[in-house]
Amino acid sequence: MQFPILSLMTFIPLLGMLVILALPKDKPNLVRWTSVIFTGVPLLLGVWLYRHFDASNASVQFVERASWIKAFNIEYYMGIDGLSIPMVLLTVLLSFLCVFASWGIEKGVKGYYAMFLFLESGMMGVFCALDFFLFFLFWEVMLLPMYFLIGIWGGKDKVYAAIKFFLYTLAGSVLMLLAMLAMYYYSEPHTFDLLALAENHKQFLDKTVTLFGATYALDKILWLGLFIGFAIKVPIWPFHTWLPWAHVEAPTAVSVILAGVLLKMGTYGLLRMNYPIFPEATQWASTALMILGVINIIYGALCAMAQKDLKKLVAYSSVSHMGYVIMGMASFTTAGVNGAVMQMFNHGTSTAMMFLLVGVAYDRVHHRWIVKPDGSKGFGGIAAVAPVYTGMMAIALFASLGLPGLSGFISEALVFLGTFSNPKYQSYVVIGSIGILLGAAYLLWMFMRVFLGPLNEEHKDMTDMNWRERLTLLPLCVLVIVLGVYPMPVLNLMGPTIAKLLAALGVA
Amino acid sequence: MAQSCLWIVALPLTAFVIQALVGKKLPRHGDWVSVLAILGSFAFAAPIFLEMIRSGHVSEVLQYKWMTMPGVEAAANSPVLNKAVTLTVGILVNNLTAIMLFMVTLCASLIHIFSTGYMHGESRYHLFFAYISLFSAGMLGLVISDNLLTLFMCWEVMGLCSYLLIGFYYQKVSANHASLKAFMTTRVGDCLFFLGICGLYVVFGTSSLSEIYKALQAGTGTGVTIVGVPALAFIGFMLMMGTVGKSAQFPLQVWLPDAMEGPTPVSALIHAATMVAAGVFLLVRTYPILEKAEIVLPVIGTIGALTAFLAACIALVQVDIKKVLAYSTISQLGFMVLGMGVGSFAPGFMHVITHACFKACLFLASGSVIHAVHTQDMREMGGLRSKMPITFLTMFIATLAIAGVPGFSGFVSKDRILGDALAYGMTHPGWMWIPILGFITAGITAFYMFRLIFMTFFGHARDEHKHHHAHESPFTMTFPLMVLAGLSLAVVFAGPTGIHSIDAKLLPVHWFDHALDTVKAEMGVHGLHVEEALEHRAHGLALMVSLTVAGLGIFLSALTYLKKVISAEAFEKSLKPVHTLLWNKYYFDELYIKVIIQKLLLPFTVLLAKFDDKVVDRTGVDGWATLTLFLKSIVGKFDDLVVDRMMVDGSGNVVSAGGWVLRQLQTGKVQQYLVFTFIVLGFFIFYFVR
């Protein structure tokens, strides 16, 4: 048996949680530095993983497999392929950075970091698990720390937001659970093994299931069950409304994780399960998926434009940007799907920057109003007092709006190129391109109102970013620029896996 | 050679990085880093240009892999298109590249030098140089790009720099609005341009220009459709829209005048000489595609002619010296686009180059004037000729060039464009109004440019105080002016007069025509094809007409603003509605900003956000919670009242209640029994009789 690197990366944070719980309450710095170590080690392991991952190999690697619950053929089955490794890397990187971003938290430091490490374990598990039961377990486990992180360390309406997030996601999980159980019972032999299910995807064909007296095709109903579970996470319109709430109320670092990693679990799930296990149903649903993608892009952008709260604006921009992922996935083309997965990664970095930067302002002035509810200016002209902050925001914002030379462009361009090359969807691209326009509009309009113009006297004492904040943002900044010029380091990882996925879709 | 192109781009890019990171700490805030970098680029560009002059032909393509995505060949009628995808980056050097590189590095170098004088003492001086270095890198990258994707990247980087530089004085609200407007307006064009690139990729499987040229010559692309339109026409229109945005053509011309909020060297570099010309350069680069997409060219010609005319009219009423130049830029870009539309490929491209030189000169000279008198309003100037002789002389030469006076560069290119346009109009009578608008515009141009010269440099000083303090600018500012004025002479591009029949005898070496002929053959450009006799006739006629209108324009201008024989005020009053229309720029801003954005888009977004909050979220999502709570209370009540109280306790109650009801009936009163009897009887009668 080889070195169990994935298990280590998954459970070291959990171990960290236990260590932190054992630490004395009155030493917050000790807790912080312990968290640095227990997120730093997975990051280092992630670097090792990146270097040793065989990018030319389309199948799963670093496999760990052991029987767990024999009676139900449930296994402890971990492994990663080109689809999961970008997400794994994103998770360990953002988790590490978020420890620093949370440095200013004073209330219940111990509990906060314990929950945070718990969350990281959950996220890692989701991206590594290859057994549906195990996947589901991690998926559900993750809700718990998230609920507490929002509900305890959040803002004004934290409880409402936390419950909303929890119940909404749970509702999706119920459907997923039902689909999972059905998949288990309809598969022969009964299994939760995702790869085996994908291998024998034909066994779900031509079967029907009767629900409330009506008869449905089995694969389509299962596809829908999984889809709704994942769609809530992405979030796909109209299941998106928990997102602005959760974002606005969550503390900065949690918003970063939420937008940077959690949203991607939805699209990851679709690509990991819906696509390979139900290729026929995926084809059946592809046009609908494309339409939803376009709705996400345009609807999210329009809503973002009307927002007065900075964080809500960024939250809706996430809805819009995840639309590109859906669009690329639904295009069924090499460039489109590669672009979609690339967009998952790139949105993770650029939106993380955005949320971190919003947090920087919030820490100083304790509000986030672009326009205050009474109609007066919330910010204005802070470029004069915080030039570095403004510069960083400019980079994040231009990456977000897809300026060529920064990472967002590459993925959006690939999505558009790919989708356009599918004759069925050309007109969708034409409509979707309005989203690019709107994206620039709301972001630059925000930039103008917040950073430019004469300085708002209320904020004349605002300080620029300190070194901790600068260093937190620097790695993301570098990634955004480097991947914008030369995206191959990430694109390279996913290529063969996506080729295999598409080939499996095509032979249906 | 292509290798040295990499240096041409890399040098300013490095300068940008240095300036952005440590510029503030360097001596002189690092302006020399940027200046040296662009001079270095010039030093690399010059040999390529000289090589082209010497041998008449440079051509090299260099390609690198950029992105690869593996795939397998899809089975027939599969819904999945999983072919492998490879995107390259590359350098395409041909004669067009060589000329552009030389022009851009030269103008940029001069403008950099000018800026060291003009921007002296500004706060954020180092950032200014960082931005113009990045801009230069972007423009030069665009010029050498073989791949439309990288061209697009550079195109957008320039857009970014334009945004940053227009908003350079970021505390000024008007500057911020202008920069936002510029970015958004050009982005409308950019989005469509990108769709065009997607289209090219779909049709040709590549976005590399050199490969597309080859494929076009082999006949690829005909018979394919995109969204129901012939593919090449779709692509052509989308590329055209890119140009319309970037080169400020009708109907996206609104951003350029506002862009004058930026420092004047920026106006010269970005909004006159290079970036706006990049739009036309895109047409030049993709000309073989446009030619194949037949319907597109006349539309381009129409847009150019309309833009040229409409913008020139606005320039007539402007009083801000930079705004006059801004509208003249739009108008001149219209000429270039017009030229491209009528198949006047070489003269159209030549106008890009000649315009870059004389317009940069005009802008820098205006900067020199503004620097001296601290105002942009021409009504406060006057009589500056004696105070600023070098500025006056160089600006006058550039004005002669733009007005189309023989012997100066503008004449050469404009006259040829108009000649070709006339020939086109004669062979396609339906499009005759393209040359007609062109000639009218030429006359108007001469008029308003001389108006500018007369108002600024002649007559008496209208503001004594400002006039008194005015002085000639330092050498770093006048030197670039002199060089650019020199480049505004016809002899640089053709013979000494620019009139072909005379030059053929005087100086028959025309490097420009020679270079363009070669590159046309290489790219597979046909250009305008008419009979030689007709062409001769058209060009002869065009020469006469353009000389007449230019002369007339200058003459009328002199009468009005120099001799004051004609009263401008009286004229203005008698044509009040026209003046108002022009003064308000045909109300385009009102339409776009006040109506489309403020009245339609923003209220709609607010409404949608409300819908999202109140309907989707509060009703659609929380509704489930409300429903659950409601059900909970119903079920709870049901459990309490129905199941427990009614059914359990009820069985007892029913008995006692029944007893109670019967007890009430047994009252012992006869009248009451009688009433009951009648009721029952009535009921029976009603029931049985019916």
* Cis preceding linkage at B251, omega within 30: yes
Asked if A38 is an interface residue toward chain B (Cβ–Cβ < 8 A), one would say no
In Å, how far is A492's CA from the nearest CA of chain B?
7
Which chain A residues are within 8 Å of B625, Cβ to Cβ? 167
| Count of CB atoms situated within 10 Å of the CB of B121 | 5
Please judge whether A429 and B152 are an interchain contact, meaning their C-beta atoms are less than 8 angstroms apart. no
Average pLDDT score over chain B: 86
Please judge whether A436 and B191 are an interchain contact, meaning their C-beta atoms are less than 8 angstroms apart. yes
Calpha distance A282→A501 (Å, rounded): 12
Helices B602-610, A279-306: axis angle to 10 degrees equals 120
For B123, name the nearest residue in chain A, comparing CA atoms only.
A384
Q: Give the residue ranges of chain A where pLDDT is below 70.
A: 1, 507-508
Which chain B residues are within 8 Å of A332, Cβ to Cβ? 79-82
Which chain B residues are within 8 Å of A164, Cβ to Cβ? 621-622
3-state DSSP call for residue B85?
strand
Model pLDDT, residue A26: 86
Which chain A residues are within 8 Å of B191, Cβ to Cβ? 433-434, 436-437
In Å, how far is B507's CA from the nearest CA of chain A?
46
DSSP states along B192-225 = HHHHHHHHHHHHHS--BHHHHHHHHHTTTTTT-E
Please judge whether B68 and A434 are an interchain contact, meaning their C-beta atoms are less than 8 angstroms apart. no
pLDDT tens for B612-650 read 888 888 888 888 888 888 888 888 888 788 777 777 777
Could you say which of B85, B601, B608 has the minimum Cβ distance to residue A335?
B85
Instruction: Give the best residue of A317, A379, A421 to mutate against chain B (max B CB count within 10 A).
Output: A421
Decide: residue B115, CB within 10 A, 0-12 exposed, 13-18 middle, 19+ buried. buried
| Exposure of A303 in the CB half-sphere (CA atoms within 13 A) | 30
Model pLDDT, residue B37: 92
Q: In 3D, which of A190, A201, A166 has the Cα closest to residue A73?
A: A190
CA dihedral sign, ordered B278, B283, B286, B287 = negative
In Å, how far is A110's CA from the nearest CA of chain B?
33
Give the mean model confidence (pLDDT) for residues B563-591.
84
For A417, name the nearest residue in chain B, comparing CA atoms only.
B198
Contact A280, A387 (CB under 8 A): no
For A307, name the nearest residue in chain B, comparing CA atoms only.
B609
In Å, how far is B28's CA from the nearest CA of chain A?
20
- Cα A323 to the center of its chain, rounded Å: 13
Which chain B residues are within 8 Å of A380, Cβ to Cβ? none
Is pLDDT above 70 for B127?
A: yes
What is the reported pTM? Answer: 0.89
- Which residues of chain A from 436 to 475 reach within 8 Å of chain B, CB to CB? 436-437, 440-441, 444-445, 448, 451-455
pLDDT tens for B392-403 read 999 999 999 999
Please judge whether B227 and A427 are an interchain contact, meaning their C-beta atoms are less than 8 angstroms apart. yes
Contact B125, B29 (CB under 8 A): yes
Please identify which residue in the block is written with the tokens 């309009």: A445
Can you read off the two tokens belonging to residue A265? 């679990």
Please judge whether B602 and A305 are an interchain contact, meaning their C-beta atoms are less than 8 angstroms apart. yes
pLDDT band, very low/low/confident/very high, at B41 (cuts 50, 70, 90): very high
β-pair partners for B229: B226
Please judge whether A404 and B167 are an interchain contact, meaning their C-beta atoms are less than 8 angstroms apart. no
In Å, how far is B169's CA from the nearest CA of chain A?
9
Please judge whether A302 and B605 are an interchain contact, meaning their C-beta atoms are less than 8 angstroms apart. yes
pLDDT tens for B462-480 read 777 777 778 888 888 889 8
Is pLDDT above 90 for B386?
A: no
Model pLDDT, residue B689: 59
Which chain B residues are within 8 Å of A434, Cβ to Cβ? 191
What is the number of CB-based contacts under 8 A between chain A and chain B? 175
Please judge whether B81 and A422 are an interchain contact, meaning their C-beta atoms are less than 8 angstroms apart. yes
Is pLDDT above 80 for B663?
A: no
Can you read off the two tokens belonging to residue A111? 């509990």
Model pLDDT, residue B508: 62
Please judge whether A491 and B69 are an interchain contact, meaning their C-beta atoms are less than 8 angstroms apart. yes
Could you say which of A167, A417, A502 has the minimum Cβ distance to residue B80?
A502
Please name the helix (run of DSSP H) or strand (run of DSSP E) that holds residue B65, with its range, or none. strand B60-69
Asked if A242 is an interface residue toward chain B (Cβ–Cβ < 8 A), one would say yes
Cα A355 to Cα A311, A352, A361, B243, distances in angstroms: 7, 5, 10, 36
Is pLDDT above 60 for B690?
A: no
Q: Which amino acid is at B419?
A: G
Model pLDDT, residue B207: 86
| Count of CB atoms situated within 10 Å of the CB of A87 | 24
pLDDT tens for B228-261 read 888 889 999 999 999 999 999 988 988 888 888 8
- Cα A350 to the center of its chain, rounded Å: 12
Q: Which amino acid is at A91?
A: T
CA dihedral sign, ordered A263, A266, A271, A273 = positive
Q: Which amino acid is at B642?
A: V
Contact B142, B277 (CB under 8 A): no
Calpha distance B130→B112 (Å, rounded): 11
Q: Which amino acid is at B179?
A: S
Per DSSP (E only), the strands in A167-272 are 208-211, 214-217
pLDDT tens for B128-181 read 999 999 999 999 999 999 999 899 999 999 999 999 999 898 888 899 999 999
β-pair partners for A381: none
Contact A42, A13 (CB under 8 A): yes
Instruction: Give the best residue of B13, B67, B171, B229 to mutate against chain A (max A CB count within 10 A).
Output: B67
Asked if A170 is an interface residue toward chain B (Cβ–Cβ < 8 A), one would say no
- Which residues of chain A from 301 to 360 reach within 8 Å of chain B, CB to CB? 302-303, 305-307, 332-335, 338
Listed in sequence order, the residues at least 6 apart from B679 whose beta carbon sits closer than 8 Å to its beta carbon are: none
Contact A379, A459 (CB under 8 A): yes
DSSP states along B479-527 = HHHHHHHHTTBGGGTSSSS--HHHHHHH----HHHHHHHHHHHHHT---
Cα B646 to Cα B54, B486, B638, distances in angstroms: 109, 106, 9
Please judge whether A167 and B625 are an interchain contact, meaning their C-beta atoms are less than 8 angstroms apart. yes
Calpha distance A411→A244 (Å, rounded): 24
In Å, how far is A307's CA from the nearest CA of chain B?
8
DSSP states along A97-158 = HHHHHTTT--TTHHHHHHHHHHHHHHHHHHHHB-BHHHHHHHHHHHHHHHHHHHHHH--TTH
pLDDT tens for A39-92 read 999 999 999 999 999 988 888 999 999 988 888 889 999 999 999 999 999 999
